[in-house]
């Protein structure tokens, strides 16, 4: 993207190394840089977890080191209403949602975006995402990050072209080791800080324990594909398709000692169906039905062939997409895919270009 000098940029400072180096790079490129730290979770709530106190401390130290002003804002109420409540609702429906994608859509690239441009009078916002924005044929497009192991375009498919014009991803052309190396050279204390993993408000806690604080447990049967009861679950919302751990059904008489995996959750019957083997046919899908479809640049013409991901860091899958109606599309994979999970996102790619995505409504089983 063409660098426009002396423009004002507000960088979303998380207290991590990626946003820190993003701010440093923009300063070197002669932007007028300021930081903004967003508090999205009230960690003094005993039910929640989020290490925002340490993160704010780290962000302040980095901004002091880089000589940039740090704004702070509390979006905890908005996060609860626009992200967390949806997270709970989807789990209650038996789905497995991705709150990071909704957080990007509702908080980072909506509330923060508007606050920075309108209230702080910025020309651009910037984040530490591993993704790229490029102007091709007068259109702004979203591309995968150079570091394919860290590429975060999967989480950004809800962006619009209008917003891409006002967003900068400074580290999109770098790999993670380069980012940490730069941080070491300029003596940033966050150079070796661990990447945040999982969901902010759950942190190191197990999701089962966390969800039990908000959703009433309802015990039910764990059954095999032929209907045999082999165990008991405490609530199907605790589990996701393809899950192996935490089922509590180890060695079973007359069964080979092969790990069991969740292959279906039946909300009405309150049953969890399991099968043995990580690539059991029951766990495989030939395609899926998706809803809430979003295209970054243009509405595409169906049918379309492109690559898709049904989860983060998954290898791209060649697929054919056709329109069912104005709400749903059908995606057929070139080869069966394991553990396609309702509630997760399916994201579409043409080579390195991310063109959009949607929410997985249901899977099309191999069997």
CA gap 78, 356 in Å, rounded: 25
- 290 a known binding residue? no
Using CB atoms within 10 A of its CB, is residue 44 exposed (0-12), middle (13-18) or buried (19+)? exposed
- 284 a known binding residue? no
- What is the distance of C-alpha 42 from the center of its chain? 21
Question: Contact, 89 vs 215, CB < 8 A?
Answer: no
- 274 a known binding residue? no
- 362 a known binding residue? no
- 128 a known binding residue? yes
- 13 a known binding residue? yes
C-alpha gyration radius of the chain: 22
Which residue among the candidates 50, 63, 200, 306 is catalytic per the annotation?
200
CA gap 307, 301 in Å, rounded: 16
Question: Contact, 137 vs 272, CB < 8 A?
Answer: no
Catalytic, 306? Answer: no
- Please name the residues in contact with 118: beta carbons below 8 A apart, sequence gap of 6 or more: none
Which residue among the candidates 103, 306, 323, 354 is catalytic per the annotation?
103
- 18 a known binding residue? yes
- 25 a known binding residue? no
- 145 a known binding residue? no
- 14 a known binding residue? yes
Catalytic residue numbers read 103, 200
Q: Give the residue ranges of the annotated binding site.
A: 12-19, 38, 128
Binding-site residue positions for ATP: 12-19, 38, 128
């Amino acid at each position: 993207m063409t660098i426009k000098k002396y423009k004002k940029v507000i960088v979303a400072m998380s207290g991590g190394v990626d946003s820190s180096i993003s701010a440093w790079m923009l300063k070197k490129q002669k932007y007028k840089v300021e930081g903004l730290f967003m508090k999205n979770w009230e960690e003094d709530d005993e039910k929640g977890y989020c290490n925002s106190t340490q993160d704010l401390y780290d962000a302040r130290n980095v901004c002091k080191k880089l000589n940039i002003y740090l704004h702070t804002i509390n979006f905890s109420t908005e996060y609860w209403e626009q992200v967390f409540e949806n997270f709970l609702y989807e789990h209650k429906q038996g789905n497995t949602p991705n709150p990071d994608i909704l957080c990007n859509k509702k908080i980072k690239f909506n509330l923060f975006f508007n606050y920075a441009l309108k209230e702080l009078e910025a020309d651009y916002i910037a984040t530490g995402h591993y993704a790229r924005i490029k102007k091709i044929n007068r259109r702004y497009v979203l591309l995968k990050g150079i570091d394919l192991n860290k590429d975060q375009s999967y989480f950004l498919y809800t962006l619009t072209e209008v917003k891409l014009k006002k967003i900068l991803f400074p580290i999109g052309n770098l790999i993670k080791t380069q980012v940490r190396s730069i941080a070491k050279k300029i003596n940033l204390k966050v150079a070796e800080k661990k990447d945040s993993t999982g969901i902010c408000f759950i942190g190191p806690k197990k999701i089962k324990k966390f969800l039990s604080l908000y959703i009433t447990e309802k015990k039910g049967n764990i059954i095999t594909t032929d209907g045999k009861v082999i165990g008991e679950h405490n609530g199907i919302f605790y589990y996701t398709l393809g899950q192996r751990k935490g089922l509590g059904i180890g060695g079973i008489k007359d069964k080979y000692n092969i790990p069991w995996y969740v292959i279906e959750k039946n909300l009405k019957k309150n049953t969890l169906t399991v099968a043995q083997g990580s690539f059991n046919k029951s766990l495989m899908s030939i395609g899926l039905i998706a809803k809430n479809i979003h295209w970054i640049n243009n509405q595409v013409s169906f049918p379309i062939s492109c690559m898709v991901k049904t989860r983060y860091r998954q290898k791209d899958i060649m697929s054919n997409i056709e329109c069912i109606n104005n709400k749903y599309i059908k995606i057929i994979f070139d080869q069966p895919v394991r553990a396609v999970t309702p509630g997760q996102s399916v994201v579409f790619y043409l080579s390195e270009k991310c063109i959009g995505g949607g929410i997985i409504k249901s899977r099309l089983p191999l069997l």
